[in-house]
Structure 1
Amino acid sequence: MDLIYTSEQIFTAVVTALVIALLYKAFKILREYERGVIFLLGRFYRVKGPGLIIIIPFIQQMVRVDLRTVVMDVPSQDVISRDNVSVRVNAVIYFRVIDPQKAIINVEDYLQATSQLAQTTLRSVLGQHELDEMLANREMLNSDIQEILDTRSDGWGIKVSNVEIKHVDLNESMIRAIAKQAEAERTRRAKVIHASGEMEASGKLVEAAEKLAVEPNAILLRYLQTLTEIASEKNSTILFPLPSDLLSGLFSDKRQDKDK
């Protein structure tokens, strides 16, 4: 009797363990940001969650899907720009799953697929622009890449919300060439500004000459003013030109005195 009683206990324990295992398989808890894609005998059944859900063990299977935004770093890519400049560019993309059914059924691994799509799109889009556009128009490039990724990943249930180009790395020779170009551009601007200033100054000088020509004695006042400014500097020797009209007038006065 003791042997039979022991066998019954073992059977009861085994059945209890099986029931507990079935209950563990049947009851699932999904967090607020999770969804469960349910398959019934291998065929898609429905999407459940969040909270407590019940599935039939061995008949139904569940795949968890995280709906939170994923921040993915795109590895550095070697890009040849449209003006044949080799650069290395890396970026970061922000995306999330908006349709768990498509994310599980339409693509094998939506994370890997999105990463590869981002790398190829980054190379193809940047290859259509020149280096100056990559450096100056990043917002436009980010928008173009984000739009392309969002359109192509729509069939996977993925929503790409943002793309940011982080670094555009150049080799040393290209950095020196860009520095020379910037220096030449600044020199050109300085020459243009200087020439513009000379043109404005010449116009003002013409106006001043016209006004001085109307009243010849005005030039004498300018000479006296200039002499005053030079004297304030306390120079030891001052060479100051005199108008020939003043000298001729002085000489004419002396001749008249001698004639008398």
Structure 2
Amino acid sequence: MSFLIPVVLFVLFFLITALKVLNEYERGVIFRLGRVIKTKGPGLIVLIPIVDKMVRVSLRIMTLDVPNQDVITKDNVSIKVNAVVYFRVTDPSRAILEVEDFMFATSQLAQTTLRSVCGGVELDEILSQREKVNDEIQEILDIHTDPWGIKVGTVELKYIDLPQEMQRAMAKQAEAERERRAKVINAQGEFQAATKLSEAAAIISAHPEALQLRYLQTLREMSAEGKSSTIIPLPLDLMKMLAPFTSRGEAIDKNDQESNKE
């Protein structure tokens, strides 16, 4: 009976130290006497106690929050920028062997890359072409992390903090741009109205009866407004007959004024 106790203890120790279970998203890098033999998982794996050592590595997409970075853009504007990086481990062996802490290394590399890329472009490009800046940062990170067995999938700029003076300047610029557009639209409206009026004048000169119809329509609109003033319509033919006398009277008055001056 005393002989079975050590055996049972040995079996329990073997089961605790030798049998490991890895989830579907995990891989185990096995070190045997300090040397990597292979990567195992997922599922149940067996290790040699004391001889083998396993390091778990997750293959899921990891989220890295890049803190605020002070950046001076190409046009000498001081801003603060932060971002988020999505990456995953594609080669567990290289992620453990090539770099001491791949999470910390990727974080530091993302911060320096964010500062260098944003410092090489102008502020307007960062604000209006954010996708281009994101792609450039992602490409640089992916090139540098590939030897570590890491794939950077997406980089997104989250927040851009502008100085108060720059915000006021941009507001003035936007206001001036809106005023310019309003003036252009007003000028285009005047041009279109003048064009339509010239076309209408050409039609009326070709068809004089159209002027009579327009005159009657105007009288109808004035009477529909409900004003207390009395409107006496005059035929256009009568106005045309009176036009020579009116012009002759104006000529006589002009001659009298000239004679008085003499």
Matched, 1:247 2:242: yes
Identity %: 57
Q: TM-score, normalised by structure 1?
A: 0.79
2:28 aligned partner:
36
Deviation at 1:122, TM superposition (A): 1.7
Identify which of 117, 122, 126 aligns with 2:118.
126
2:256 aligned partner:
none
- Partner SS state of residue 76, structure 2: coil
2:196 aligned partner:
204
- Partner SS state of residue 153, structure 1: helix
CA RMSD of aligned residues (A): 3.1
Uncovered stretches (5+) of structure 1, i.e. residues with no partner: 1-7, 253-260
Letter matched to residue 128 of structure 1: G
1:157 aligned partner:
149
CA contact (8 A) 2:70 2:115 kept: yes
Distance 1:20 1:216 in 2: 114
**The 10-residue stretch of structure 1 (224-233 or 161-170) with the greater mean CA deviation from structure 2:** 224-233
Matched, 1:65 2:60: no
Q: TM-score, normalised by structure 2?
A: 0.79
- Partner SS state of residue 87, structure 2: strand
Number of residue-to-residue matches in the alignment: 244
Deviation at 1:198, TM superposition (A): 1.0
Distance 1:52 1:149 in 2: 35
Letter matched to residue 146 of structure 1: Q
1:166 aligned partner:
158
2:103 aligned partner:
111
1:89 aligned partner:
81
Distance 1:121 1:25 in 2: 42
CA deviation map 1:193-223 (0-9, x unaligned): 1111111111222222233334556545433
- Partner SS state of residue 225, structure 2: coil
Q: How does 1:42-57 map to 2 (within 5 A)?
A: 42-57=34-49
Distance 2:143 2:223 in 1: 79
Distance 1:218 1:108, change over 3 A: same
Distance 1:140 1:251 in 2: 74
